[in-house]
Structure 1
Amino acid sequence: MSGLLYGVGLGPGDPELVTLKAARLIAAADVVAYHSGTHGRSIARSIAAALLPRGVIEEALVYPVTTERTAHPGGYRGAMVDFYDSSAERLAVHLRAGRTVVVLCEGDPLFYGSYMYLHDRLAPSFVTEVVPGVTSVSAAAAVAGKPLVRHEDVLTILPGTLPQPELARRLADTQAAAIMKLGRTFPAVRAALAEAGRLDEAWYVERASIPGQAMIPVRDVDPGAVPYFSIILVPGADRQVGDASADGAVAQPVPPVARTDPAELFVVGLGPGPERWITPEVTDVLAIVDHIVGYAPYVDRIPQRAGLRRHASGNTVEVDRARFALDLALAGERVAVVSGGDAGVFGMASAVFEAAQDEIYSGVRITVLPAITAAQAVAAAAGAPLGGDYAVMSLSDRLKPWDVIADRLRKISESDLVLAIYNPGSRTRATQVALAKQVLLEHRSPETVVVIGRSVGRPGESVETTTLGRLDPAAIDMQCLLIIGAGGTLVSGDRVWTRRFVPAPQPVG
């Protein structure tokens, strides 16, 4: 009969924070395993030292590398994969012999804990149980005496090893944060806090719950004296019960500081993919505005910097988003509304003008900056299918009925125009590509050239050429843009292009 495997959390360091269950399991273990650095000293073992039973088998799992270089052909990752494979096999020998194995883990086993990599390898084959422990985040908050989150606040846990721009973006987009894995990453983390405007509210906690613990403002920390076992806390706002935002009401934005500049709102497109497709004009505007407003995935593409406030929202609330941006601009703030692709092509520009019909916004100048749109990106990747006359349509029926879409598809098809189709399908619109194909085939040959562009300019990009007859609607989703060719659309090798000329119609009779 196989033995039992326990992943046991020991808390952040103070032996008195070990749970009763963890202590009981350690005292009854046949085998106790623990990780250590190349120096051989194990923090986990030192926490549990007084609990180890007499005669217990100890398995010291010594990392082959920590921060130094490795000669392993697979680099650091390859060395660690081999290490966990061999460590798991060492423990599997005991488990097959029917022994109870306890793996010690400081903090919580499944919260950045080393145990999880053994769990991945052993849990499919042996009976396992994970015993949670007090995390370093909880311990640091207790040391600081500062509540991290209140009411509907969002807490984000961030590794300090993230790139600085990514750290800054995530810090700006959350109410509260804890940043782990500091040490050599501290200078970049401090810079990210400053870019996000969170430096003055950030606290540094070192060696929480053990001798030598300390808490000081991050701005006062010596970057050269930061150990790995330290953490930064950015508490949420100190709101009291009874505040409007504490009682579940929608929090209102902090009133902007009024400026004397004329009110202006920029509406900009970010292009369909990589940063290099963003125009210099748009880049210049994004560098001077104080507020970015948009659908969350597009806001996420804007690097965070000091003084920039980001206002992300979900899909389908375009007009509400536009009003929010106009209100900021009306108060004199510098604001940019962002869209993917070109803001004027199924983007936010039209929604902004719709909202701006309200007379209260008559004093706001709206400036729309052009950008590459998805049809251009897919066409360029395929060749030149938009080289002649073409039409652009969205298959989404959220803002227009399907009968209107079908009628327009027929008229475009009758006119022999190349057609670029946006928003072809989604989880809630699974039938529309098939319906559109059926309508187009009323007037187009099944051999009509079709280009399917998926995630062009982004990871996973693909461009496929097929025909209208062979088009598989089930393979199309919101990551795709379709280009339906016309009579003059040809395929030359792997390139698709449309003739610039159209023959004059021959007289009848």
Structure 2
Amino acid sequence: MSTGRLWGVGLGPGDPGLITVKAAGLIGNADVIAYHAGAGGKQSIARAIAADLIPAGVIEEELRYPVTTGNYDHPGGYHGLLNDFYAECERRLAAHLEQDRDVVVIAEGDPLFYGSFMYLYDRLSPRFATEVVPGVTAMAGATAAIPEPLCRHEDVLTVLPGTLPVPELARRLADTDAAVIMKLGRTFSGVREALRQAGVLDRAVYVERATRDSQQIMPAREVDPTTVPYMSIIVVPGLDRRADAAGRATRDETQIAATAEKQTGTVHVVGLGPGPDKWLSPEAGEILARVDDVIGYAPYVDRVPQREGLTRHASGNTVEVDRGRHALQLAKSGREVAVVSGGDAGVFGMAAAVFEAAEDPAYADVDINVAPGISAALAASALAGAPLGADLVLMSMSDRLKPWQVIEKRLRAAGEGDFVVAIYNPRSRSRPDQLEQARQVLLEVKAPGTIVIVARDVGRAEESLQVTTLDELDTETVDMKCLVIVGASSTRVTPSGRVWTPRFVSD
């Protein structure tokens, strides 16, 4: 068995003085020093940082990338080419380890933070003893170089790659208190646009080659995109909300002051549809393009593109009325507010919660506009064919706002009335048995062969549709991503598998 040990050693962001004592000792006593280098004959950054520590006569393994950007010819594309490269790196380093040599892979920054060592670790650690020595990250070096506090108290810091699409990067920037953006270079123009859309461009700081002699620091707004190297970082420090309550409310006060001359705004309750952007109505899109604030359950807020001037307020899944009050309060101060909901906001969505909050006389002068969306039941029905072609009932299996006894009573009545029943929120981790109980209730009043549809993730990439019967329905396969449609006695299936319910009913 080999006694060779693989070490991943972080060197810090560039200043050799930031190399840890442990890292320096390992480099000085290594049998083999390995390091990555860029394509085109560029000097290895990692080796340059550690140059004074590398002993004479040590075996060196330069792991030079075949490409960074540009044209390449490989049947597997860019990722296939890199996979071959790492396979070759694995072979070279494994040969040393099998000869009981200790191999020290030096890496700028920290080895496991956006570092190339990760890919060697994945390949070699199952076969050889492996240890990692942390290094000062590039982001820590950049933050110290500014210098400005990054996070305070409960601030959330998000580290983002600049390679994200602009709308996604802007959304994530808007949803955090502080941010660090890595991987710039050719992506910088898009990154700056995302900063602008998120409303944080003015406090974004650009740091190039942090802690090195060639270090540059400037406002991100002033950077020439054609000069940005890959080894650069954007830091967006969190706002200082320490001090007293007035300081902590700086952003809200600024918003209210900006709208002080306006009349009372409007709360728009917007249905986003089940998922695809193409199912968003023109009215909903127009509202979302002009409101000042968007409020909602976090996954729904995530679906709204970020833009300059939009403030996002994401929250958990069980505070609907609190969201409504928040929206009404913002509208009362003169802001235009969108409360977003999946599907149609009026079908088990946020519309009713907003009207519930609006029963408070304090909000009597706030207008509420409801913009409809495609309901999950309608989307699932269209996927299946036309199972909702006759009289129907929409029901939610959630017992958070009504007791199970009420659900059971209504479900039985719907079955006895021979309605088509569309079941929302069919089965969750907290109530795994209720759908099976509902099936048993329906079997008491409906035929075992009644057609049942289980539609999952309608409109999304994972979309699926199952057509079964009431007696054969496996409720264990159903979760909150599903909508279940239980047909009427007249519901039928075509030879091609489409499901429909006739509009006519005979006695």
Task: Give 1:102 shift.
Answer: 0.7
User: 2: distance between equivalents of 1:262 and 1:149?
Assistant: 35
Task: Give 1:242 shift.
Answer: 5.2
Equivalent residues of 2:264, 2:331 under 8 A apart: no
Aligned runs of 1:387-466 on 2, under 5 Å? 387-466=389-468
Q: Secondary structure at the match of 1:337?
A: strand
Corresponding residue number in structure 1 for 2:334: 332
Amino acid at match of 1:497: W
Task: Give 1:377 shift.
Answer: 0.5
User: 1: distance between equivalents of 2:277 and 2:475?
Assistant: 31
Amino acid at match of 1:225: T
User: 2: distance between equivalents of 1:259 and 1:270?
Assistant: 31
Corresponding residue number in structure 2 for 1:16: 17
User: 2: distance between equivalents of 1:57 and 1:460?
Assistant: 50
Count of matched residue pairs: 502
Corresponding residue number in structure 1 for 2:34: 33
**Structure 1 counterpart of 2:192, from 181, 190, 193:** 190
Q: Does 1:495 align with 2:495?
A: no
Task: Give 1:429 shift.
Answer: 1.2
Corresponding residue number in structure 2 for 1:380: 382
Task: Give 1:262 shift.
Answer: 4.5
- TM-score scaled by structure 2? 0.97
Corresponding residue number in structure 2 for 1:371: 373
Deviates more, 1:217-226 or 1:3-12: 217-226
Corresponding residue number in structure 1 for 2:205: 203
Task: Give 1:95 shift.
Answer: 1.2
Task: Give 1:113 shift.
Answer: 0.3
**Structure 2 counterpart of 1:282, from 270, 281, 284:** 284
User: 1: distance between equivalents of 2:109 and 2:497?
Assistant: 56
Q: Secondary structure at the match of 1:80?
A: helix
Task: Give 1:148 shift.
Answer: 0.6
Equivalent residues of 1:203, 1:215 under 8 A apart: yes
Task: Give 1:227 shift.
Answer: 1.1
Task: Give 1:443 shift.
Answer: 0.9
Q: Secondary structure at the match of 1:49?
A: helix
**Identity over the aligned pairs, expressed in percent?**
62
Task: Give 1:252 shift.
Answer: 6.5
Equivalent residues of 1:164, 1:192 under 8 A apart: yes
User: 1: distance between equivalents of 2:210 and 2:262?
Assistant: 49
User: 2: distance between equivalents of 1:239 and 1:261?
Assistant: 29
- TM-score scaled by structure 1? 0.96
Aligned runs of 1:243-262 on 2, under 5 Å? 255-256=255-256, 257-262=259-264
User: 2: distance between equivalents of 1:231 and 1:394?
Assistant: 48
**Structure 2 counterpart of 1:313, from 291, 312, 315:** 315
User: 2: distance between equivalents of 1:258 and 1:340?
Assistant: 32
Q: Secondary structure at the match of 2:395?
A: strand
Corresponding residue number in structure 1 for 2:81: 79
Deviates more, 1:255-264 or 1:341-350: 255-264
Equivalent residues of 2:264, 2:333 under 8 A apart: no
Gaps of 5+ in 2: none
Equivalent residues of 2:393, 2:421 under 8 A apart: yes
User: 2: distance between equivalents of 1:53 and 1:432?
Assistant: 69
User: 1: distance between equivalents of 2:191 and 2:99?
Assistant: 47
User: 2: distance between equivalents of 1:299 and 1:268?
Assistant: 11
Corresponding residue number in structure 2 for 1:266: 268
User: 1: distance between equivalents of 2:424 and 2:131?
Assistant: 49
Deviates more, 1:355-364 or 1:262-271: 262-271
Equivalent residues of 1:341, 1:373 under 8 A apart: yes
Task: Give 1:243 shift.
Answer: 5.2
Task: Give 1:121 shift.
Answer: 0.8
Task: Give 1:57 shift.
Answer: 1.1
Offset from partner CA, 1:167-226 (integer Å, 9 cap, x none): 111111111011111111111111111111111111111111111111111111111111
Equivalent residues of 1:168, 1:192 under 8 A apart: yes
Compared with structure 1, are the counterparts of its residues 490 and 312 closer, same or farther at alpha carbon in structure 2 (3 Å cutoff)? same
Offset from partner CA, 1:350-379 (integer Å, 9 cap, x none): 000000000011101111011101000100
Amino acid at match of 1:220: E
Gaps of 5+ in 1: 505-509
Amino acid at match of 2:425: N
**Structure 2 counterpart of 1:349, from 351, 367, 375:** 351
Equivalent residues of 1:387, 1:499 under 8 A apart: yes
Q: Does 1:294 align with 2:296?
A: yes
Corresponding residue number in structure 1 for 2:474: 472
Equivalent residues of 1:8, 1:109 under 8 A apart: yes
Corresponding residue number in structure 2 for 1:61: 63
User: 2: distance between equivalents of 1:268 and 1:254?
Assistant: 26
User: 1: distance between equivalents of 2:213 and 2:121?
Assistant: 31
Task: Give 1:244 shift.
Answer: 7.5
User: 1: distance between equivalents of 2:203 and 2:468?
Assistant: 56
Offset from partner CA, 1:257-315 (integer Å, 9 cap, x none): 22434432110100001000000011111111111011100000011111011111111
**Structure 1 counterpart of 2:98, from 86, 96, 99:** 96
Corresponding residue number in structure 1 for 2:161: 159
User: 2: distance between equivalents of 1:409 and 1:271?
Assistant: 25
Deviates more, 1:203-212 or 1:343-352: 203-212
Equivalent residues of 2:265, 2:337 under 8 A apart: no
Task: Give 1:326 shift.
Answer: 0.2
Offset from partner CA, 1:370-401 (integer Å, 9 cap, x none): 11010001000011100111100000000000
Equivalent residues of 1:258, 1:333 under 8 A apart: no
User: 1: distance between equivalents of 2:479 and 2:428?
Assistant: 5
Amino acid at match of 1:423: N
User: 2: distance between equivalents of 1:280 and 1:261?
Assistant: 26
**Structure 1 counterpart of 2:115, from 113, 116, 130:** 113
User: 2: distance between equivalents of 1:171 and 1:236?
Assistant: 11
Task: Give 1:55 shift.
Answer: 2.0
Equivalent residues of 1:69, 1:76 under 8 A apart: no
Equivalent residues of 1:263, 1:363 under 8 A apart: no
Corresponding residue number in structure 2 for 1:507: none
Compared with structure 1, are the counterparts of its residues 348 and 259 closer, same or farther at alpha carbon in structure 2 (3 Å cutoff)? farther
Q: Secondary structure at the match of 1:481?
A: strand
Amino acid at match of 1:297: P
User: 2: distance between equivalents of 1:91 and 1:178?
Assistant: 33
User: 2: distance between equivalents of 1:229 and 1:420?
Assistant: 54
Q: Does 1:322 align with 2:331?
A: no
Offset from partner CA, 1:12-48 (integer Å, 9 cap, x none): 0111111111111111111111111123321011111
Equivalent residues of 1:264, 1:367 under 8 A apart: yes
Amino acid at match of 2:36: H
User: 2: distance between equivalents of 1:135 and 1:440?
Assistant: 60
Amino acid at match of 1:494: G
